[in-house]
Amino acid sequence: MSRRSDLARYLASRLALAPVMLWLIASLVFLLLRVAPGDPIDALLGTRAPEAARAALRAQLGLDRPLAEQYGRFLGHLLQGDLGQSLTNGEPVTRLIQDSLPASLELGLVSLLLAAILGLAVGFSGIARPEGRLDLAGRLYGIGTYALPPFWAAMVVQLVFAVWLGWLPVGGRFPATLMPPQGTGFYLLDSLRAGDWQQLAGSLRHLVLPAATLGLLLSGIFTNALRLNLRRALGSDYVEAARSRGLSERRVVLHHALPNALLPVLTITGITVASLIGGALLIEVTYSWPGIAFRLQEAIAQRDYPLVQGIVVVVAALVVLVSVLVDLVVALLDPRIRF
Amino acid sequence: MVTSRLGARSLSARMARWGIAIVAFYGLIALFTPLLVHGSLLPDPNAGLENPIYAPPSFGHWCGTDRLGRDVCVRTLAGSSVALQVVLSALVLALVIGVPLGMVSGYLGGGVDRVLVLVMDTLYTLPVLLLSVVLAFLLGRGLPNAAAALCVVYVPQYFRVVRNQSAQVKAELFIEAARSLGAGPAWILRRYLFRNVITSVPVLLTLNAADAVLVLGGLGFLGLGLPETIPEWGSDLQQALTALPTGIWWTALFPGLAMFVLVLGLSFLGEGLEHWLSGAPAGSDG
């Protein structure tokens, strides 16, 4: 009974905190964009632009109004899901984000899956002899994949597999000679639904290198998490008890220690999402993958303030939501967690 | 399981040794490259107009030349001094802000503490690279600007660690005793809390330095951070990317490798330190 109500209370507080965090992030981005040195007008038009043009743009952006009013307006629009218009092409920021989000999600999900498989496999391979050669190699693997600069790893992979061997395309998301599949924006899903094998092959060929690179970079997190938790589980009393009952080591590891070690890995997955986004930002740019990070880089290069602001708010919202969601799932799955 | 602990200990010790060696090596390079350039023993990293462009590695230019005919070796060497400078100043700044803030917040508690924790937690939730990209975008290019952009990212980390620890330490008996003897908050913070709390900082500092090298490189790669006249690995790699499809590998290989090894060295040092300081108790990461 008490556990149930405790859980409900925890979930409620966690959920209640999420909007507060989102509001904080949105306000922070808003404030930074306005308080930071450097006038956006200067950035857009240059310091020598005629005063009339500067005033016009200032009015168009609403920058001529008092800060409090701008802030109220920004929050009001945000609540209605309106993130303003792009400065470069006048399109609504929400539409631009919607257009590029599926590409990022597709790359992110496939990479996460690859990272989990690869990382857990490496972490698990050392299990037979903890702190044996394989296990220590797993530790080095974790550090090594972390230390790789994402964009450099991507460039090396590109150079070897696309430029030298010519097996796969250097960049982009889809062959220029084909019509991209229509529908959800997830090309793999769309081409599968349409039953178009040519489209599917085209999307896959473009997806392989970016997803494999990002997957490799993130896999170390899973390796570390599994090794750490497995070690902890293997040192615990219930494993000792299982051993003393004469169970085989294999059974102890697979049936007693592993299930308990896998749950914290889920928490790690939640944390990974944040670094996934950092890594994806650089991977997308390196592979010209037309996702949200690629768009962010374009927006930065063009000094498109509303678009930068919109993308940051949306991505931050995603990160907060995923972290809350993972907490909830872990709380529901793990009866030991008390709050 | 008894024999196995030796393996982890020796790996940690070996990693720490390698870490120290690598970081010291980079420190020496960072120190001597500007001197050698100044004494004309090495060419200027920005000079190259008389050199052939995109020349592959040769005896004249061991790592080849880039799109402006600049020597890739010299630029890579000079990059280490730039990276260490920015990262070091950013982290010192983050320490100077984060540690006192965390100590005061954790010691005093109450409403201010709760608000600070929420703000720092929110900042901490944001992906490091995203936050620093926004900040670097706003602050513009320059050495202090890049350091400031990086610093903000790491303040929450020191704040969190120090705050939690001081909230814990303040309940200890010796603090209680000091208070009952009439010590004021400032005295307690400086005299008792600081020494207890500061022990957790070196590991975090080293690991953050590794991270910051990557983030600085990421910023440079995205065209942010440092001005173009300063040789920096990330921005050199951005320029190498455009030449990559034509098979020009040397402009991409060397700066990236330099970055990778430095991050590896700092990570080794951090992990080794962590095991050494924690005495590698059973159940810790091997």
pLDDT per residue over A11-60, tens digit each? 777 778 888 888 888 888 888 777 665 566 776 677 777 788 888 877 77
Question: 3-state DSSP call for residue A286?
Answer: helix
Helix (DSSP H) and strand (DSSP E) numbers for chain A: 14, 0
pLDDT at A35: 67
Residue of A nearest to B131 (CA): A312
- Chain B stretch 25-64, residues whose beta carbon is closer than 8 A to a beta carbon of chain A: none
Residue of A nearest to B240 (CA): A155
Instruction: Give the whole-angstrom CA distance, residue A157 versus residue A132.
Output: 30
Q: Give B-chain residues touching A129 at CB under 8 angstroms.
A: 4
pLDDT at B215: 92
Contact B222 A281 (CB under 8 A): yes
Least confident of A229-238, A272-281, B219-228: A272-281
Greater model confidence, A126 or B262: B262
Radius of gyration of chain B (CA): 22
**Interface ipTM:** 0.84
Contact A300 B286 (CB under 8 A): no
Instruction: Give the whole-angstrom CA distance, residue A339 versus residue A331.
Output: 9
Q: What is the mean pLDDT of residues A126-152?
A: 83
End-to-end CA separation in angstroms for chain A: 14
* Largest Cα span, chain A: 86
Greater model confidence, A3 or A23: A23
Segments of chain B with pLDDT less than 70: 1-9, 49, 278-286
Within 10 angstroms of residue B278's Cβ, the number of other Cβ atoms is 12
Radius of gyration of chain A (CA): 24
Which of A143, A162, A315 has the CB atom closest to B271's CB atom?
A: A143
* Largest Cα span, chain B: 76
Ordered DSSP codes for chain B: -HHHHHHHHHHHHHHHHHHHHHHHHHHHHHHHHHHHHHTTSS--TT--TTSPTTPPS-SSSTT-B-TT--BHHHHHHHHHHHHHHHHHHHHHHHHHHHHHHHHHHHHH-HHHHHHHHHHHHHHHHS-HHHHHHHHHHHH-SSHHHHHHHHHHHHHHHHHHHHHHHHHHHTTSHHHHHHHHTT--HHHHIIIIIHHHHGGGHHHHHHHHHHHHHHHHHHHHHTT-SS-TTS--HHHHHHHHHHHGGGT--HHHHHHHHHHHHHHHHHHHHHHHHHHHHHT--TTS--
Contact A277 B1 (CB under 8 A): no
**Backbone angle region of A92, left / alpha / beta, with phi > 0 → left and psi within -120 to 50 → alpha:** beta
Sign of CA dihedral A231, A237, A239, A243: positive
Which of B118, B245, B285 has the CB atom closest to A231's CB atom?
A: B285
Q: Is B150 on the interface with A (CB under 8 A)?
A: no
Instruction: Give the whole-angstrom CA distance, residue A122 versus residue A141.
Output: 8
Q: Give A-chain residues touching B122 at CB under 8 angstroms.
A: 21, 24-25, 28
Within 10 angstroms of residue A7's Cβ, the number of other Cβ atoms is 17
Q: Is B232 on the interface with A (CB under 8 A)?
A: no
Q: What pLDDT digit, counting tens, does each position of A71-111 carry?
A: 888 888 888 888 888 877 888 889 999 888 888 888 988 99
**Under a CB-based contact definition with an 8 Å cutoff, are residues A304 and A296 in contact?**
no
Q: What pLDDT digit, counting tens, does each position of A280-339 carry?
A: 888 998 898 988 888 888 888 777 878 888 888 888 888 888 877 877 777 777 666 554
Q: What percent of chain A has pLDDT over 70?
A: 91
Greater model confidence, A223 or A177: A223
Of the residues A23, A104, A151, A243, the best mutation for testing chain B's interface (the one with the most B CB atoms within 10 Å of its CB) is A151
- Chain B stretch 70-129, residues whose beta carbon is closer than 8 A to a beta carbon of chain A: 118-119, 121-123, 125-129
pLDDT at B49: 63
Q: Is B245 on the interface with A (CB under 8 A)?
A: yes
Using the predicted structure, report yes or no on whether residue A272 has a pLDDT greater than 90. Answer: no
Instruction: Give the whole-angstrom CA distance, residue A45 versus residue A91.
Output: 19
Burial environment of residue B239 by CB neighbours within 10 A (0 to 12, 13 to 18, 19 or more): middle
pLDDT at A339: 45
CA distances from A248 to A242, A255, A262, A305, B4 (A): 9, 10, 20, 62, 19
| CA-wise closest residue to B218 among B133, B157, B139 | B133
**Under a CB-based contact definition with an 8 Å cutoff, are residues A285 and A292 in contact?**
no
Using the predicted structure, report yes or no on whether residue A168 has a pLDDT greater than 70. Answer: yes
Of the residues A131, A289, A297, A315, the best mutation for testing chain B's interface (the one with the most B CB atoms within 10 Å of its CB) is A131
Using the predicted structure, report yes or no on whether residue A68 has a pLDDT greater than 60. Answer: yes
Burial environment of residue A82 by CB neighbours within 10 A (0 to 12, 13 to 18, 19 or more): middle
